[in-house]
Chain A
Amino acid sequence: MSKTHVTTTINGDAVEYLCEVDQSLLDVLRDTLELTGTKEGCATGDCGACSVSLDGRLVCSCLVLGVEAEGKQIETIEGVANGTELHPIQQKFLENAALQCGICTPGFIVATKALLEKNPDPTEEEARYYLAGNLCRCTGYDKIIRAVLDAAAEMRGAA
C-alpha cells in the first residue's frame, strides 16, 4: 500500500505526514499525529465531535480525506488555548458547567469559535441553529448555549 505525502499546517505548525488516500483527516489527526483532542462519535458527519477548522471553514474532519489537507491551514481543539491561557470560550464553558462527560466539548468549542468569528453577537436561535450539527447527550444543550452567548458577550467586550 503506497502512502501519500502531505504537507500542511496544523495549529500554526508546519506538519508533514504520510497517509492512505481513504484515510480521513480525523484518523490522521488522531492516529498518525496523536492529536486525540478531536473525537470520533459517528464517522458519518452527524455528531460534530470531530469538528476542525479547514482554511477557516468549520468541517467534520471525518468527512475530509487526509490527502485533501495538502497546503491547507487546519485548526483543532489543541490550538484553541493560548498556551496555558484558556480561550474565553473555554473559560465560559467551564464557568457555565457546559459539559458533563466532555466528549462533545472539543467539537462544540471549535464550532463555537467558528460561529463567533462569523457572528460575534448571535441570538439564542442563531447559536442553536449553527450548533445543531454538534450532538450532546448529557446537557440538554441549555448550559452550552448559555456558555456560547456568555462567551460572545465577553469577547465583544474584550475586543
Chain B
Amino acid sequence: MESVQYHAPQSLEDAVPLLKEARTTPSRILAGGTDLLIQMRAGVKTPEMLIDIKKIPELTQLEMGADQIRLGAAVPSAVMDENAELHQQLPGVVEGMELIGSTQVQGRATPGGNLCNASPAGDGAPAMIVSSGQCVIFGPNGTRTIPVEEVCTAPGRTSLADDELLQEFIFPAPKPGQSDAYLRFIPRNEMDIAVVGVAANITVDASGTCTAAKVALGAIAPTVVIATDIAALLVGTKLDDDTLAAAAEMASGLGSPISDKRGTTEFRHRIAGVLTRRVIKIAAARAGERLQ
C-alpha cells in the first residue's frame, strides 16, 4: 500500500514545485477537509499527495476594501461568520457558507473547498455567483482570474488544471441599494444537504424599483443555474407580488432536478419557485436598507 504524501507549503512560492509535481502525481488540495477526508475514507478519492493550503497567508486573508472584498479560498466559514462587516456587505455569501454543516464543520469548511468540491448542491456557489465573485487561480505560470460560475464544470469537476489552486475570491463591494441573500431548503433545521438553494442579488432605487438583479439556483442541475430570464423579468419592476409569482413560476421550470433520497424532481421544481420568491424579497429588503 502506498503512503499518502502530505505537504503544507508556507507560501504560494513554496507551493509551486508541489503543483508541478501534481501534474504527474494524483493529488488533492486540502483546505478544510470536510468533504475530502470523507471521500478518501470512502475510497472515492485516492490521492497520493495532499497539499494543505491553510498555511499560505494569501489564502487565509479576509480583506474588506472600499471597492472590493478579497476572501482567501481557505478562510474557514466560522471566520466569515464572525466578521460583522462581511455580514453587512455580502450577507448572502455569508449565509451560503454558514449553512454548511454544524458548528464543528464551520470551523473547518472553506469557500474554496466548497466550490472546488463541485457538488451540485454546494451552498457556497449560488450567492458567490450572484454577487459577481471572481476567482483568482494560482499556478506555476502565475495567476488567472475567472468568474465563480466558470469553476464548476460538472458534478465533482472543475476547470482548474492539475497544477492550479484556487487562491482567493474577489467580490465588488455592493453599491448603495444593492444586497444579496441565500436560502436553501432542507427537511431538518441543520445538518443536511440542500434540496434546493437559491441566491439573489438585487439593486433597488429610491422608488423601490429594481434596477439590477441576478438570481442563481443550486441543486436543480449538474451545476449552478444562472436565471438570466428571471433577472430580466425583475428589472424595472417594484418586485410586487405578481412579479415575484411570475419569477417563482419561471424558477420552477428551470434546471433538470433529479429524484433521490433528498427530494423528488417535482418537489425540487416546486421548492425552487418558493425559495426564489422568498429570497428575492429578502435581498430586496436588504437592498432597500442600504439606500441610506
Given known pairs A65-B6, A132-B191, A133-B191, the reply for A111 and B104 (CB within 8 Å) is yes
A67 CA / B3 CA spacing, docked (Å): 13
Interface residues, chain B, with chain A CB atoms under 8 Å away:
1, 3-6, 8, 30, 32-34, 37-38, 40-41, 50, 52, 54, 76, 78, 101-105, 107-108, 189-191
Q: Bound state CA distance, A20 and B3, in angstroms?
A: 7
Inter-subunit contact A58/B101 (CB<8 Å) = no
Report whether B33 and A64 are in contact in the complex, using a CB–CB cutoff of 8 Å. yes
B188 to chain A, nearest CB (A): 8
Q: Mark A100-126, 1 if CB is under 8 A from B, else 0.
A: 000000000001001100000000000
Interface CB pairs A-B, < 8 A, 8: A22-B4, A46-B102, A59-B108, A63-B104, A68-B52, A68-B54, A132-B191, A133-B105
A132 with B103, Cβ < 8 A, contacts A4-B6, A67-B6 known: yes
Answer whether A1 and B1 are a contact pair too, CB < 8 Å, given A63-B38, A63-B108, A133-B190.
yes
**Chain A contacts of B34 at CB under 8 A?**
45, 63
Number of A residues near B (Cβ < 8 Å) is 34
Interface string of A39-60 (1 = CB under 8 A from B): 0000111101001001001111
Asked if residues A63 and B105 are in contact (CB atoms below 8 Å), the reply is yes
B interface secondary structure, majority: loop
Asked whether A132 lies within 8 Å of B33 as measured between CB atoms, the reply is: no
Residues in A whose Cβ lies below 8 Å from that of B5:
21
**Which among B4, B30, B78, B102 has the highest number of chain A CB atoms within 10 Å?**
B102
A70 to B33, CA, bound (A): 16
A132, B50: Cα distance in complex, Å: 30
What is the distance, in angstroms, from A41's C-beta to the closest C-beta of chain B? 12
Give A1-28 interface residues, CB cut-off 8 Å to B.
1-2, 4, 20-22, 24
Nearest opposing residue in chain A for B4, CB measure: A21
User: Please, how many angstroms separate the alpha-carbon atoms of A51 and B6 in the complex?
Assistant: 23
A134 (CB) vs chain B CBs: closest residue: B102
B114 to chain A, nearest CB (A): 14
